[in-house]
Chains A and B, each alone.
Chain A
Amino acid sequence: MQTGHAATYEEVQKIHPLYFNIVKKRYWWFAISLLIIIPGVISLFMQGLNLGIDFKGGTMLDVTFSKAVTQASITDTMKSVGLEGPVQLSNGNTSALIRTEALEETKRNELLAALETKVGTYDKTTLKEDKVGPAMGQELTRNAFYALIIAMGLMIGYITIRFEFVFAISAIIALLHDVLVVVGIFSLFRWEVDSTFVAAILTIFGYSINDTVVIFDRIRENQNKMKRGETYEDMVDKSVWQTMRRSINTVMTVLIALLSVFILGGQSTRIFSLAMLIGVFSGAYSSIFNASQILVEIKTHFKKKPRKGGKAVRA
């Protein structure tokens, strides 16, 4: 190891104690991905997402009472002013999360006054209220959709310019994989989604591709140095392993950051950090195990074509 030279495939294998051929086993990785995505997609078609008021419209009140309350007393009070909706208690039954239709100010004040007299006094300084009209919710969904499409278009453009079109397609498939995993899991477990979920999906979209691009960058570099007799599969496998430490360590630091937000950040950012945690994990998986293998798959298929017209190559 005296002279500077590019590491060989064997050397790369030797450095990593847990080495195994990732590219060769690619159909297994695809299968694992499908195993997670398919139930999610089915659930998405059957029951959709559990949409919060940001999408559906409605009023959500987070009220902290001075003493423990019962669900029935709140539901009854709501009925007395002609309202209904789910109530969730937390914090030793002192906090109530009330969801109902989008309330006009007079109706809202009527409800709060009724709660004060019939259920108990509440702390005005910790009151949280969200009211979203139905039209606003539709707008949010539409804008999120546009944002995804435009971001996708721009990314395909950028990767095509910097790499090749095939790289762009592989990266986008891996990205859609991550989005489907997150949306699917949220649908399966009926976790409620709000506007921060949209932000999370888009961030995953932006972040997961970051991982993929770093691996692709190495493939691009190694591709130009490919020697005779070296197969595309081996070159990609080498590239994936050369960047393995980085892939894992980067994901670790991001997961540390997200975990601290998830655990300590409080209720308002929980959905966001949960979606991000799943997305970042899935993003790391798809970057290592899917994106490059999709690339290999496409490359090997297209390479055969020009040979078909030429002379028969047979052993």
Chain B
Amino acid sequence: MRRENIIKLVALVLLVAAAVALSIKPLVDPVKGILLGLDLRGGVHLVLQADQDKKGTPITKDDIDKAKAIISNRVNDLGVSEPIVQADYDKKRIVIDLAGVTDPDKAVEILKTTAKLTFRDPQGNVVIQGDDLKDAKGGQGQGSGFVVNLTFSSDGAKKFADLTTKLVGQKLGVYLDDKLLTNPTVNTPILNGQAEITGYDTLQAAADHAVLMRSGSLPVSMSIAEKRQVGASLGIDSLHRSIQAGLYGLIFIFLFMLVFYHLPGVVADFSLIVYALIVLWVFWMFRVVLTLPGIAGFILTIGMAVDFNIIIYERVKEEIRAGKSIRAGVESGFSRAFVTVIDAHVTTFIAAMTLYAFGTGSIRGFALTLGIGIIASLFTAITFTRLVLRLIVGISPKMKTTWFGVRREV
């Protein structure tokens, strides 16, 4: 019994040490590791608000979709890894996160200008403006493949008729801003203002282009409602500072537990390492973006994760003082403390969830870390801390109660 437990304990320590050593590399990998928010590596966060025009025409969901399509298109050109472009239909907004963008000023410059659709002849002269296009829709072609159907306004139809008569057999370039979208050949003159661009392999590809063409003809005016820009080296500086804060916090909590709880304190410190490892892997698994408030939240949960240990140990001490053996004390202390901990942590969890539901941006990141931290600390305590404590008290029935911080006066 005794030797077996010691072997198990040593194996456990080695296992955790190995897990830590093996985890560091994949977790901090710049590409596949934990995602860092723009406040930790520089970048820009933009909230674009669609503004109503002077006539007060309502902004539709379709308008927002078009704007989103255009913006995504431009963002992809910026070459940022994992850019985020989200549409908020209720508030008529588009949220853009570009973490790690090298020149944020330029990125903003590119994103804020309104897209413009133009048709150009082979020489590159603008022959028709986007406003002349009434609609563009993706659909099934007559033969195989998919098409974009274009409908021109009456003015546009006339211009298009002249143009296609002139350009039969030549290429007509469709540009979004200065980027060539598609380059179809004019087969016959089109006189009725109904054109068809063929040659798409999928309906999705045709629909995507249709959205972009429609958008060019119907620009929603957008203004920057919120902008947060962080220089790259400032972000790295923040990252280093937070890591340092986390390390010192951890070290002092380790010492505190050691001084006040002796042997169980060591178990608590050990559990804390397992806890931190679990949380970081959960971040990695669910692609949680770590932000500055997120790290602050994580450090805070380290402080809170110890709480479970403290509640248990205090309870165990009481049970031992009341005359129970260490082993019985640990068992009853554990089961009794568990009720306490659940009740106490559910309330904190409620706060974290409401914060997540109502928060925006980095506050959300904080709420998420807090929530994950609470669940992970419960999990660690139930599984790991309990196992280790059981193994330790199983080593010898004559263990000194002072190891548990109890002086038994007889």
Contacts and interface: CB of A to CB of B under 8 A. Distances in A.
B307 interface: yes
Nearest to A206: B351
B381 to A, nearest CB: 14
Interface in A188-204: 195-196, 198-199, 202-203
A125 B324 contact: no
Interface in B122-153: none
Given A128-B230, A199-B293, A269-B292, A260 B299 contact: yes
B354 to A, nearest CB: 4
A26 interface: no
Interface stretch (B22-30, B168-176, B277-285, B314-322): B314-322
B19 interface: no
Given A196-B293, A264-B241, A253 B314 contact: no
Interface in A121-149: 123-133, 135-136, 140, 143-144, 146-147
A38 interface: no
A265 B296 contact: yes
Contacts of A195: 360-363
B387 interface: no
A130 B357 CA distance: 23
Given A147-B358, A196-B293, A264-B241, A1 B323 contact: yes
Query: What's the dominant secondary structure at chain B's contact region?
Result: helix
Given A7-B318, A105-B108, A243-B314, A202 B354 contact: yes
A264 B248 contact: yes
Nearest to A263: B245
Contacts of A1: 321-323, 408, 410
Contacts of A4: 319, 322-324, 328
Contacts of B246: 260
B306 A250 contact: yes
Contacts of B256: 249, 252-253, 256
A263 B299 CA distance: 13
Interface stretch (B59-67, B72-80, B200-208, B340-348): B340-348
Given A125-B232, A257-B249, A273-B296, A136 B47 contact: yes
B304 interface: yes
Nearest to B234: A126
A261 interface: yes
Interface string B289-325: 0001101110110111011001100100011011110
A128 B321 contact: no
A268 B39 contact: yes
B343 A128 contact: no
Contacts of A260: 245-246, 248-249, 252, 299
Interface stretch (B2-10, B158-166, B221-229): B221-229
Contacts of B304: 207, 210, 250, 253-254
A230 to B, nearest CB: 18
Contact of A143 (B109, B311, B360): B360
Given A4-B322, A125-B234, A143-B360, A258 B300 contact: yes
A191 to B, nearest CB: 17
Contact of B292 (A143, A259, A263, A268): A268
A81 interface: no
A104 B257 CA distance: 53
A205 B253 contact: no
B284 to A, nearest CB: 22
Given A1-B408, A7-B322, A128-B229, A140 B245 contact: no
Contacts of A265: 241-242, 245, 296
A80 B304 CA distance: 52
A129 B227 contact: yes
B307 A261 contact: no
A291 interface: no
B100 interface: no
A155 B241 contact: no
A273 B297 CA distance: 10
Nearest to B319: A4
A5 interface: yes
Contacts of B244: 264
A209 B350 CA distance: 11
A32 interface: no
B348 A207 contact: yes
A105 B366 CA distance: 29
B237 interface: yes
B403 interface: no
A315 interface: no
Interface string A90-112: 00000000000000110001000
B310 A206 contact: no
A56 to B, nearest CB: 13
A250 B310 CA distance: 7
A42 interface: no
A258 B228 contact: no
Contacts of B349: 206
A127 B231 contact: yes
Contacts of B314: 243, 245-246, 249
B303 A210 contact: no
Given A136-B226, A158-B347, A261 B293 contact: no
B198 interface: no
Contacts of A243: 314
Given A1-B322, A264-B245, 5 more contacts: A195-B360, A196-B362, A206-B349, A266-B237, A273-B296
Interface of B: 39, 42, 47, 49, 105, 108-109, 112, 223-234, 237-238, 241-242, 244-246, 248-249, 252-253, 256-257, 260, 292-293, 295-297, 299-300, 302-304, 306-307, 310-311, 314, 318-319, 321-324, 328, 339-340, 343-352, 354-355, 357-363, 366-367, 370, 408, 410
7 contacts: A133-B224, A196-B293, A210-B307, A213-B347, A250-B307, A259-B249, A269-B296
Which 8 residue pairs of A and B lie closest in terms of their CB atoms, listed nearest first? A206-B351, A257-B303, A260-B249, A254-B303, A264-B245, A147-B358, A131-B227, A129-B229
